[in-house]
Chains A and B, each alone.
Chain A
């Protein structure tokens, strides 16, 4: 079973992404901020993480930093799905980021296809 962690603070968007991942036979975990994501990662290891960058109580970069500190988390592929995608530095790839998608122009279906491609590679 493919397991995805969605880190998105806007609940209506998170729900939409969840529907798309469920339709593609993923099991879905959801976190509304970086702290909640860390708590989930303490208990479960998803195959891929979808990460919004602008989160309450911190941001996506802080979560990426935190993940790099742990051997069992640092290699989990991360797809950044953010409305500030075009302003993010390419150097984020050093933090396990495998794709950066602009959520204002990329449909959730494409996000799921990208996640499937990553897992198939």
Chain B
């Protein structure tokens, strides 16, 4: 009897390993090995094959003005997403939580950009912001806000702000839906108790909503940060990083470095920077999620 049981367990463990093997193999080859290889490459120069290069890639990328510019742009996009984007998401979530009708329509609209390819979003906005025949210029002229057409993607700051606006449009839906789920999870009794204590709407928001939402707010902020660090497709179609790298992101810059200039070593080093930032943020997020 005991032997039979042992046999069964043994069989079970072999079966288990076999069942998990194909998935483990693919994840191992496509995700895990490349992580190690990435760090390896970051200490090498690529001349068709890797040649040891020490830390010189790490020194050189931080002396590269255009990489630093791309790093700055990425942080700038992140900052706009976390302030303006997050505020809008929160307002939208609160409105959806209060309204009785229009929710489905609204949620479908703000979530649509999330399921669209980023190059599609970029293409649409490139047309909207077209300096000669764009509808944004046309509408602003019609209501008299501007006298002549604006080149939205033509100058450094204008382009940077335009891309930031597109990022906000693109990412608000996802954050709003996450926050809405958080709002719906707050027990109604807490609000009623607060009301009995004489709290007005604003006080209820500060003393019930915010503390109850703490975990989910942090998760949403970190997810938004991670998303901002991956910005690529919209830049590729709208500005191709220009004018003179003023809209280039980390991902766009490392893509160009690797696949236009074939400096795999330096590009790998930039990827390590991206990797470490995102992983750190994810670990922090995981911590809050488990606490939640």
A binds B: no
